C-alpha cells in the first residue's frame, strides 16, 4: 500500500517506529481482545450513511448486534446499519485550513500499489472537523489507491473535503431497507428484552449465505 493511505486502526499507525529498528518483531501470544468495528447508520431512507461510532466484538455478526442495540434502538430514526472491521478501512491524510484533500491526489499514488481483480469500493467524505464521515458513493477499482484516484473525478465537489475513508464493499455487513425494518420483531417465546430476541440473527444468516455464494 502507498504511503498516502493508512489503516484507520490507530494501532497500525501510532507507534512511528524508526526505520533502523526494522519491521520484524518477536511473535506474541494471541490475546482474547475484541476487534474494533466501525458503524455507519442511515438516519432516513434516501439519506447518506454516516459514521456513528465503533463497537468492540469478537465477530462481525456480534458487532452488528451490538451496533443495532447501541445506535438504532426502537423508536429512533434509522433505516439501515453497516458494519466493517476498522482495520479494513483505509484513510487518507487530513488537510489543514480547509484545503481539499483531492487536490493532493494524483495518478502517482497508484505507483507500487498491489492491484487485483476489479471490485467495488465505498467512499466516505469528511467535510468539516468534528463532523461525521458520510458516504458519497461506490465505484469499481483494482486497489484502494485506484479507488481513491477514481473518487477524485467522481466525487470531488466545490466544497473542500478534508479527509477520505475507503473500504471494500464486500467487507461490510449491510442490513437495510425492509430487512432492517423487521429486525425489531421479537420472537414469540421471549418475554424479556435481550439483543438476541430480535430477528437480527435471520438477517445475519442471510448476509453470510450471500457472502459465501
* Segments making up each domain of the chain, as ranges: 33-185+194-212
Cell of 158: 466545490
Q: What is the pLDDT of residue 191?
A: 45
Residue 138 CB: number of other CB atoms within 10 A? Answer: 13
The whole-angstrom separation of Cα 164 and Cα 89 is 10
Q: What is the DSSP string of 38-88?
A: EEEEESSTTSPPEEEEEEEESSHHHHHHHHHHHH--TTS--SEEEEEEGGG
In tens digits, what is the pLDDT along the chain, a chain of 213 residues? 667 888 887 665 555 555 555 555 555 565 567 899 999 999 888 899 999 999 999 999 999 988 888 887 654 567 889 999 999 999 999 998 789 999 999 999 998 888 999 999 999 999 999 999 999 999 999 999 999 999 999 999 999 999 999 999 999 999 876 666 555 554 444 444 454 444 555 656 666 676 676
Query: pLDDT by residue (tens digit) across 58-82?
Result: 999 999 988 888 887 654 567 889 9
What is the dihedral angle through the alpha carbons of 152, 156, 159, 161, rounded to the nearest 10 degrees?
Answer: -40
Amino acid at each position: 500500500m502507498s504511503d498516502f493511505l493508512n489503516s484507520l486502526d490507530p494501532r497500525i499507525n501510532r507507534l512511528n517506529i524508526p526505520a533502523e529498528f526494522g519491521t520484524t518483531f518477536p511473535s506474541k501470544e494471541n490475546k482474547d481482545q475484541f476487534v474494533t468495528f466501525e458503524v455507519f447508520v442511515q438516519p432516513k431512507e434516501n439519506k447518506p450513511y454516516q459514521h456513528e461510532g465503533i463497537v468492540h466484538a469478537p465477530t462481525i455478526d456480534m458487532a452488528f448486534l451490538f451496533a443495532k442495540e447501541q445506535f438504532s434502538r426502537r423508536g429512533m430514526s434509522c433505516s439501515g446499519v453497516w458494519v466493517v472491521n476498522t482495520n479494513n478501512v483505509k484513510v487518507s491524510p487530513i488537510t489543514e485550513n480547509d484545503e481539499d484533500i483531492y487536490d493532493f491526489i494524483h495518478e502517482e499514488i497508484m505507483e507500487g500499489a498491489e492491484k487485483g481483480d476489479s471490485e467495488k469500493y465505498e467512499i466516505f467524505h469528511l467535510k468539516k472537523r468534528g463532523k461525521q464521515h458520510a458516504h458519497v458513493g461506490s465505484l469499481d477499482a483494482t486497489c484502494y489507491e485506484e479507488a481513491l484516484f477514481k473518487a477524485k473525478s467522481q466525487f470531488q465537489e466545490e466544497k473542500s473535503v478534508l479527509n477520505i475513508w475507503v473500504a471494500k464493499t464486500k467487507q461490510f455487513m449491510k442490513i437495510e431497507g425492509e430487512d432492517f425494518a423487521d429486525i425489531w420483531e421479537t420472537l414469540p417465546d421471549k418475554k424479556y428484552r435481550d439483543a438476541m430476541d430480535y430477528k437480527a440473527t435471520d438477517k445475519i444468516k442471510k448476509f453470510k449465505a450471500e457472502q459465501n455464494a
